[in-house]
Structure 1
Amino acid sequence: MGIDLRQVMAAILTFSMFVMLGNMIKRDHIDPLLPLPVTSKVQYEVLKVSKPGMMKLSGINYGPWKQQNEPTKPCWKMPSSRKNQKSSGYIFVSLTHGPEYHALQIANAVIVARLLGATLALPDIRGTKLGEKRNFGEIYDVNKFITSLNGIVRVDKNPPTESSNEKLPIVQVPNKVSEQFVASNIKPIFQNKRNLKILTHFNSSTKQKMPSSLNSYQCLAMFQSLKLQPELQELVDSMVGTLRSLSQKNRGRFIAVDLRVDVLEKKGCQESDFASKRCNKAAEIGDFLKKIGFHRDTTIYLTQKGWHSRLNGLRDVFPNTFTKDAIIPADEKAKFVDSESREYEKFIDFYMCTQGDAFIPAFPSRFYEGVVGGRIALGKTQIFIPSKKISTSADDYIPPYIAKKTHFAHSCFC
């Protein structure tokens, strides 16, 4: 009996369709429910997204996500230009303590230099170890910094060598310096020395109001002058792209959680007293996110360096939980993560937290305040504060910074 080729082809096609259907069911309904081993290391080569913009997004939308970020625009009036003004001396500043402090330090330096008619020397960046110092361009984009301040203050990348920082008088200023303070405490010294260094004092709260006459300089300096240098920015963008590729169930969205075991320990947050210390351990963060409606498929980025056993409670609830070590490109890891200095990690975490579609701080800190400011500038106002309240509505956990617009950044953006 002869073989009918048409019947053979029909049988092959039918079998292929059943195989494809089986794979689709496994991928969409079974694979997302399989937890990652707690000890597993997710390799970047597996997760890498060559073109994040080309990824396919599912229509499924688990969790209390905002459908769209609210666009913002600057509310401040652009300061008048002083391009041809002759400089009468130099103001020096060192950026310290991490990215959450840098914007305020730059704002103070710009205001002081502007009011004194001085040139701002390109800042350096001090590390946490004594004597540790980086060039500004290792972290921030020098050209964008100078361009953003063009006409506001003159910035010199190579100030005179005789203006050595070690020989300069140092003036301590509050974190939101006023015209009166500059006139009475800084100007007399500057007129005598012509060069001085300012050091920002951070005991006062960032909630204090800036005089309206100086608000435009503050806003411009804080939110437009500091941009990551291209290589570091590309790294952060690639990490964001990787997380979005893992979040197809949630249309490419992810949560950034500031949860660092070492910081919790330094704050005295022991396993038995998290509630009394206003701290939240990993399991409590997981329970909170589940309570307000986030699905277990949700992808989470943690600021913790490397995996720690105390994070297991969160991954038990949300298997797609990652630290930077798991998603950073292998060829960048030695430079930005595995080096002896961990300074780069602070900047990676800060900008990852500003880019997340939702942000959860595990404890109150200036890092949290700084991230909130950056998110307001971007229109990313979906921020939740973990609490033991009974309510399951995410709206009941929005911080006053957003709900009551108490953060300074609201005076800069409409």
Structure 2
Amino acid sequence: MEIGGTKVCRLTQLHWWALGATLMMLLLCAFMVQLIMTSTMKASSVLMFRSYISRQAVNDQLERVYDSNGYLIVSPNGGLNQMRAGICDMVAIAIYLNLTFVVPELDNTSFWRDNRQFGDIFDVDFFITSLRGQVRILKELPPMQKRRLEKMRQIVSFAPISWSDISFYYYQMLPLIKRYGLLHFTRTDTRLANNGLPLELQLLRCQVNYKALRFTSQIEELGKKIVRLLRKNGPFLVLHLRYEMDMLAFTGCTEGCDNREIEELTNMRYAYTWWKEKEIDSEKRRKDGGCPLTPEETAYALRALGIDPTKQIYIAAGDIYGGEKRMASLRLAFPRMVKKETLLKPSDLEPFKNHSNQMAALDYMVALEGDIFVPTFGGNMAKVVEGHRRHLGYKTTILLDRSIVVNLIDQYKNGNLSWVEFSQAMKTGHADRMGSPAQRLIIPGKPKEEEYFYSNPQECLPPIHQRPKVST
């Protein structure tokens, strides 16, 4: 019995051991199944996410279907970059109000009198297709709408109020468009506020500016050729030297000019009736930082900031007032000065001859590619290029404080500062003016004085974790 008892006990123990092993195997199998299912689910979720992104990317290219509230026709005014910013604003407004946008007719009556149209500067087909997921764009009005216009005999046409917020367009412009079927804006410069707009609208402005507005292949190819020629000789700085006759006449700035030149610039200012300011104190304006830097002042500023005198300097500008004589001091300081006319054969530029907007487009392309960009005046090109370079990864842009520059130069020339002191003061005064991340300056109620949206489109850039910089 003992033997038998022992045998029974051992059999019982064997039975429980087998049962335990089976349970362990079942638990292990269940764990493995769970692990496989979890992994599969994770993999599926990743695949689903990836396929969603892929489908979304495809859907973005599909034409947006919507009931249009009417047609928006615009005539952008000013030079290339003033028109560029205006077009971005108008397209964003058209998207926001569910309008059909008609390819713009560019201004041919401004100072530059360039008769080139939108399709001569920008790639029209790319413009239309790249935005088809947001807005319907037509090259011209449909025949039915043209016939309706003929019956109306007169198109509803005017300039929107400057620096308007979106409520102006929604509550005042949209009812007019619905009533008449279309609206024509005769001016587009600064017709949309810098701030206080929906994030969606700000992002749309950037999408048009940085994605949809691409230059024609002819301009793109020649612009890339200029950049290749520059890169072959090393790094280069792009200097937007805004020392041209029209700018000096408009601002009333005559530093370094003789009596004949002062009279010539004054006569030009009075000849253009739409330039409102006539009597201007040139010296005071210069001290206040309201004048374009002269070539001589520019040479002082660049040298004081430590720019290598052997660096290539590409001059992005039209005809410099005073010609080579006026450029002598700058060329002496930076002998490797070039411009598109010296880099290219005359035959390369022949198609663009006497077409200032296409020439400006070439300079725009080079300005984006430069290792450093330095504007000597805060005009439209300076502002729009500054913002575009921020969008491309905060590329170095030296934003000269003209008031600091001219006052330090005067102190140095008067013997009140040594070169070392002058240089150090210049570097200190521009330490935070290199195009690095910064909040856009907001001045409530003073849109002309605050920072321009297109010079710092912060809504379209990586976020900055600090409070907005607001001036009172």
CA offset digits 1:113-162 (Å, max 9, x no partner): 22332211111222345986433211001122112212110111232255
Q: CA deviation at 1:316?
A: 0.5
* Long gaps (5+) in structure 2: 1-58, 257-282, 409-421, 441-454, 463-472
Residue equivalent to 2:300: 287
Q: Does 1:413 align with 2:461?
A: yes
**2:142 maps to 1:160:** yes
Q: Distance in 2 between matches of 1:363 and 1:300?
A: 17
Residue 356 (1) aligns with residue 404 (2)? no
With a CA cutoff of 8 Å and minimum separation of 6, indicate the structure with the bigger relative contact order: 1
1:258 paired to 2:258: no
Residue 315 of structure 1 deviates from its aligned partner by 0.3
Higher mean alpha-carbon deviation, 193-202 vs 287-296, is at 193-202
Per-residue deviation, 1:169: 0.9
> In the alignment, what sits opposite 2:255?
271
Aligned to 1:172: 159
State which drifts further: 120-129 or 390-399: 390-399
Compare CA radii of gyration and give the structure with the larger one.
2
| Mapped pair 1:376 → 2:357 | no
* Worse-matched range after superposition: 96-105 or 311-320: 96-105
CA distance in 1, matches of 2:156, 2:244: 39
CA distance change for structure 1 residues 210 and 174 in 2, over 3 Å: closer, same or farther?
farther
Q: CA deviation at 1:201?
A: 5.4
Q: TM-score by structure 2 length?
A: 0.63
Q: Quick check: 2:91–2:208 contact (8 Å CA) kept in 1?
A: yes
Aligned counterparts, 1:7-406, within 5 A: 83-129=64-110, 133-161=115-143, 162-163=145-146, 167-174=154-161, 177-200=164-187, 202=189, 207-246=194-233, 248=234, 252-266=235-249, 267-272=251-256, 273=283, 274-276=286-288, 277-306=290-319, 307-337=323-353, 339=354, 341-386=355-400, 387-388=405-406, 389=408, 390-392=422-424, 394=427, 396-397=429-430, 398-399=432-433, 402=436, 404-406=438-440
- Which is strand-richer, 1 or 2? 1
- Change beyond 3 A, Cα 1:206–1:404: farther
SS in 2 for 1:124: coil
Please state how far the C-alpha of 1:295 moved relative to its aligned partner. 1.6
CA, structure 1 residues 114+213, in 2 after alignment: closer, same or farther (shift >3 Å)? same
TM-score (norm 1): 0.71
**Alpha-carbon contact 1:258-1:353 (below 8 Å) kept:** no
| Aligned equivalents of 1:119, 1:363: Cα separation in 2 | 37
Q: Give the conservation status (yes or no) of the 8 Å contact 1:260–1:303.
A: no
How far does the alpha carbon of each residue in 1:213-264 deviate from its partner, in whole angstroms, 9 at most, with x for none? 4222222122221111110111111112222223x3xxx3333333333245
Q: For the Cα contact (< 8 Å) 1:108–1:175, is it kept in 2?
A: no
Match of 1:10 in 2: none
Measured at CA, do residues 168 and 133 of structure 1 come closer, stay the same or move farther in structure 2, by a change above 3 Å? farther
The one-letter code sitting in structure 2 at the alignment partner of 1:239 is I
User: What secondary structure does 1:308 align onto?
Assistant: helix
Query: Structure 1: 5+ residue runs without aligned partners?
Result: 1-77
1:364-407 CA-to-partner distances (Å, cap 9, x unmatched) read 22322112112112124312234255343747424386463324
Aligned length: 332
